[in-house]
């Protein structure tokens, strides 16, 4: 039977106090709805039906995929009403999995478990959890045989019902045919005047079905987000869990509470991450890589033994083995460092290829450059790659020495073994194995007098 994911995402999220629709709010830099789609997507659904309302244009723009069928719920009249809007996309022989766009971290294994509870004799199953504080949630009512009889919402519950700790997470699995029938019978005569999806539980019981339940492995899996405080809370829990996974893989974290992974990280053995490290996009760290405090690593691949010292920022780059980077280095997109490269403080590299053993240790800008091996770039060297309109390349051979405070005006080539005298402005090819410099001769004006105040 076809699996049909029906994801409810029409709510406004008033309490977020944001122009961004709630399901687009980021958790670990990915929209809440993105987490839902990624995780539930692992179940290989035949169809994905998204019920949208507030900010639907924005949501559609972010997730414009032909795999998604969009359903508009122009007025939010309740969760039952929301699923009613999806009915044209639901076939009688679908297995429907109802999810919320603002509950991002449910594991696919948990959803599998829930789906495995439904069959011809059990057309409805609920994901429930016991909470120490169940306030706000719909309560699961059971009879003396422990069979589910109904869900009662907080606002409709009596004092006894409010004491129930087992709550409805909102996530449920249901056979399409029964869902169609039950939805057509929904009423809104309740405390909120809404069409409650949860009313179908009592209907199922009335029709003689036993309602099964499944549970997540942790509360985090079913936490929803209604405001920025809950968003932050879930972010912290999620980050702590990711840190835990890294430690299980052998990574040394100086403080598991001060690491943020906003993407994916792959690690070798004996990797060490100091406090305040931020990982973005896809990051791959080889054996023994050490990342110092407060570094931001985005879409980088770093080979074994390389050390990134504090406060360095690396974006879209590939680094070889046993390099030394930073502190305060900035490595920008398109940079590719070979092995044993040293990049020191206040050095910016952009679209630079750097050969084995080369050093750029202090205060330099190296952009659009091909540099050979064993080069030494002196402090304050600038590759002038931009004339205000176009970008040009600087080619530096092997064993080149560039004296401090030099400008290499691209396009320009420094040939193998060349030495550039400090303070030079180089505009033409510097030939191999020669000393090239361009600076005014030093002179001293004998007897020159300092000006005096008038
Ligand atoms: C719902 C459940 C409650 C459960 C709780 C778990 C009902 C009646 N109640 O309550 O039993 O414990 O979730 O969090 O189902 N939405 C729409 N359109 C609507 C209304 C809601 O798309 O007309 C979406 C919201 O955007 C949200 C989700 O459905 O993603 C849940 O809605 P919400 O209003 O938060 O439900 P609760 O009242 O909290
Ligand atoms: Ca809610």
**Do residues 242 and 373 both lie within one domain?**
yes
* CA torsion angle 229 232 238 241 (round to 10): -90
151 within domain boundaries: yes
Please tell me the distance from the alpha carbon of residue 18 to that of residue 405, in angstroms, as a whole number: 49
> Pocket residues for ligand 1 (CB within 6 Å)?
8-11, 51, 73, 76-79, 81-82, 100-102, 137-138, 151, 153, 167-170, 196-198, 224
Count up the domains in the chain and report the number. Answer: 2
Q: Residue 8 CA: which ligand 1 atom is closest? A: 22
Q: How far is the CA of 332 from the centre of ligand 2 (A)?
A: 42
Structural domain span for residue 178: 3-222
Q: Which of 178, 202, 222 is a domain's end point?
A: 222
Q: Which ligand is nearest to the CA of 50?
A: 1
Report the residue among 6, 7, 9, 11 best suited for mutation to probe ligand 1: largest number of ligand atoms under 8 A from its CB: 11
Q: Is residue 441 part of a domain?
A: no
Together in a domain, 215 and 192: yes
Residues 270, 161, single domain; the answer is: no
Q: Is residue 451 one of the residues assigned to a domain?
A: no
Same domain, residue pair 138 and 215: yes
Distance (angstroms) between ligand 2 centre and the Cα of 106 equals: 15
151 and 294 in one domain? no
- The pLDDT of residue 155: 97
Check whether residue 217 and residue 311 sit in a common domain. Answer: no
Residue 217 shares a structural domain with residue 232: no
User: Which CATH number do you get for residue 368?
Assistant: 2.160.10.10
Q: Which atom of ligand 1 is the closest one to the Cα of 77?
A: 23
Contact, 194 vs 81, CB < 8 A? yes
**Whole-model pTM?**
0.94
CA gap 43, 157 in Å, rounded: 35
Q: Looking at the domain assignment, is residue 381 inside a domain?
A: yes
Q: Among 222, 254, 274, which residue terminates a domain? A: 222
Do residues 324 and 194 both lie within one domain? no
- For residue 126, the model assigns a pLDDT of 98
The DSSP code for 47 is: E
Q: Report which bound ligand comes closest to the CA of 23.
A: 1
Spacing, Cα 56 to ligand 2 middle (Å): 19
Pair (201, 247) in one structural domain: no
Q: What is the CATH number of the domain that holds 107?
A: 3.90.550.10
Which ligand gives the minimal distance to the CA of 13?
1
Ligand 2 center to residue 239 CA distance, Å?
22
- CB-based contact 363:378 (threshold 8 Å): no
Q: How many CB atoms lie within 10 A of CB 74?
A: 11
Atom number, ligand 1, closest to the C-alpha of residue 197:
15
- Let me know whether 247 and 266 are in one domain: yes
Active site residues: 362
Residue located nearest, by CA, to atom 30 of ligand 1: 100
Please tell me the predicted confidence (pLDDT) of residue 1. 81
State which of 160, 191, 222 marks the end of a domain: 222
Which residue minimizes the CA distance to atom 1 of ligand 1?
Answer: 170
Report helix, strand or coil for 321.
coil
Residue 172 and residue 115 in one domain? yes
Longest CA pairwise span in the chain (Å): 112
DSSP string computed for 65-91? -TTEEEEE-SS---HHHHHHHTGGG--
Residues of the chain with pLDDT under 50: none
Residue 335 lies in a domain: yes
The answer on 325 and 268 residing in a single domain is yes
Distance in Å, CA 67 to ligand 2 centroid? 26
Ligand 1 probe mutation, 100, 193, 224, most atoms within 8 A of CB: 100
Residue 445 lies in a domain: no
Contacts of 52 (CB under 8 A, 6+ apart): 9, 10, 59, 60, 70, 71, 72, 73
Residue with CA closest to ligand 1 atom 21: 79
Question: From ligand 2's centre to the CA of 69, what distance in Å?
Answer: 23
């Amino acid at each position: 039977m076809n699996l049909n994911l029906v994801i409810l995402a029409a709510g406004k999220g008033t309490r977020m106090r944001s122009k961004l629709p709630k399901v687009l709010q980021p958790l670990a830099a990915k929209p809440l709805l993105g987490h839902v789609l990624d995780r539930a997507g692992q179940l290989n659904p035949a169809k994905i039906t998204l019920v949208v309302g507030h900010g639907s244009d924005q949501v559609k723009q972010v997730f414009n995929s032909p795999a998604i069928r969009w359903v508009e719920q122009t007025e939010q009249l309740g969760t039952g009403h929301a699923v009613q809007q999806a009915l044209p996309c639901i076939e009688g022989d679908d297995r429907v999995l109802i999810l919320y766009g603002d509950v991002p971290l449910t594991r696919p294994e948990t959803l599998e478990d829930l789906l495995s509870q439904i069959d011809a004799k059990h057309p409805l199953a609920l994901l429930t959890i016991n909470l120490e504080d169940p306030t706000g949630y719909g309560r699961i009512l059971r009879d003396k045989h422990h069979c589910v009889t109904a869900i009662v919402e907080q606002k409709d519950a009596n004092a006894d019902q409010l004491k129930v700790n087992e709550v409805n997470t909102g996530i449920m699995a249901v056979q399409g045919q029964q869902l169609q029938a039950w939805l057509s019978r929904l009423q809104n005569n309740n405390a909120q005047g809404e069409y409650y999806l949860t009313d179908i539980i009592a209907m199922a019981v009335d029709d003689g079905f036993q309602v099964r339940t499944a549970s997540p492995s942790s509360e985090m899996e079913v936490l929803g987000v209604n405001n920025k405080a809950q968003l932050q809370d879930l972010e912290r829990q999620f980050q702590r869990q990711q840190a835990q996974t890294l430690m299980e893989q052998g990574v040394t974290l100086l403080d598991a509470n001060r690491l943020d992974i906003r993407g994916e990280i792959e690690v070798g053995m004996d990797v060490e991450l100091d406090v305040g490290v931020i990982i973005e996009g896809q990051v791959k760290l080889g054996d023994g890589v050490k990342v110092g405090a407060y570094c931001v690593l985005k879409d980088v691949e770093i080979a074994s033994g390389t050390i990134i010292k504090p406060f360095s920022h690396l974006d879209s780059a590939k680094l070889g083995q046993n390099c030394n980077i930073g502190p305060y280095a900035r490595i920008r997109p398109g940079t590719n460092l070979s092995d044993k490269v040293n990049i020191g403080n206040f050095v910016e590299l952009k679209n630079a290829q750097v050969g084995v053993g080369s050093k750029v240790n202090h205060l330099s800008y190296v952009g659009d450059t091909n540099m050979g091996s064993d080069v030494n770039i002196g402090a304050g060297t600038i590759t002038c790659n931009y004339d205000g309109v176009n970008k040009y390349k600087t080619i530096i051979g092997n064993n080149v020495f560039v004296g401090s405070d030099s400008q290499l005006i691209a396009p320009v080539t420094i040939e193998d073994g060349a030495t550039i005298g400090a303070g030079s402005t180089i505009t033409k090819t510097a030939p191999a194995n020669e000393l090239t410099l361009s600076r005014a001769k030093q002179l001293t004006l004998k007897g020159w007098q300092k000006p005096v105040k008038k």
